[in-house]
Structure 1
Amino acid sequence: MASSWEHFGEIANVAQLTGLDAVKLIGMIVKAA
């Protein structure tokens, strides 16, 4: 769990940079998980 939270933090940083693309990326990750 801890490692996935670290990845989530990295994704959150990317989200701030990429915007909507990151939202789509997170959605894909949620479906994969």
Structure 2
Amino acid sequence: MRMTVDAMIVFMMFIMFFWIGWLLARGGDLVVS
């Protein structure tokens, strides 16, 4: 089960960075405007 926890933490971190980057790249203008 420890492997699941590690995988979930890494997966969440990866998704967070990717999602933030995507929002800044694509949704940034929409949010700012």
TM-score by length of 2: 0.46
Q: Which has the higher contact order (CA 8 A, sep 6+)?
A: 1
TM-score by length of 1: 0.46
